[in-house]
Amino acid sequence: MLIWLLVIAATIIPMFKLLPHFGINQYWAFLCVVAPIGQIALLWFMAIRLQDLEKR
């Protein structure tokens, strides 16, 4: 459980700083606490936004 909490903290802290750059509210980073699928979903959404930015 301690390892899981460290992984969550290591994910949420950078997400707070990165999500606003992709046009996503920073409080969506708490989705990482709910389930690992939340981390995957946020990273996937950020990748889609990054591809859109690269096309411009």
């920073």: which residue's tokens? 26
As a whole number, mean pLDDT of residues 8-30 equals: 83
What is the distance between the alpha carbons of residues 50 and 4, in angstroms, rounded to a whole number? 28
pTM above 0.75, yes or no: no
Question: What was the pLDDT predicted at 10?
Answer: 83
pLDDT digits (tens, 9 = 90+) for 20-52: 888 888 888 777 777 778 888 888 998 999 899
Question: What was the pLDDT predicted at 20?
Answer: 87
**3: pLDDT strictly greater than 80:** yes
